[in-house]
Amino acid sequence: MVKSQTKQGKKLQPGSILDKYDVDDDGEITDNEIKDIQAIEEIERTNRRQRHQRMMAWYALVGMISYPACIMICEWFGLTKSADLLATIAPTYFIAAAGVAGAFMGVTAWMSKK
């Protein structure tokens, strides 16, 4: 004789913070719903990380483009000492910013092949 399988769920209290995870609105969260929730949260976490990495790479690129403009603006306003200081640290800044942007592009290309 085969026993009929019933879904064993976890009863929720009224107004529980887990109500949003109750997909079928029956007041219980089943193991399948919990697995689905975990998968969705993992996808959302990965998406947030990728979005932040992309933003970081864009900021590095914008900084590399605007850095020479900052030096020229300092010169136009007669801030020659500031322009000299910015020009002195420019090589270090460009290497660091290019490393951030290059790492993002390289990892993105590598991950797309996996």
CA atoms within 13 A on the CB side of 39: 6
3-class DSSP state of 7: coil
Give the global pTM. Answer: 0.61
Q: Given pLDDT bands bounded at 50, 70 and 90, which one contains residue 91?
A: very high
pLDDT, position 6: 45
pLDDT, position 1: 34
Contact 86, 67 (CB under 8 A): yes
d(Cα 2, Cα 109) in Å, to the nearest integer? Answer: 52
Lowest mean pLDDT of 23-27, 59-63, 90-94, name the range. Answer: 23-27
Contact 23, 36 (CB under 8 A): yes
Query: What mean pLDDT value characterizes the chain?
Result: 83
- Residue 11's φ and ψ, nearest 5 degrees, are -65, 140
β-bridge partners, 28: 11
pLDDT, position 113: 80
Q: What is the mean pLDDT of residues 3-8?
A: 46
Running DSSP on this structure, what letter comes out for residue 28?
E
pLDDT, position 34: 81
Q: What percent of the chain has pLDDT over 90?
A: 41
Question: In 3D, which of 92, 86, 104, 94 has the Cα closest to residue 63?
Answer: 94
Q: Given pLDDT bands bounded at 50, 70 and 90, which one contains residue 33?
A: confident
pLDDT, position 26: 80
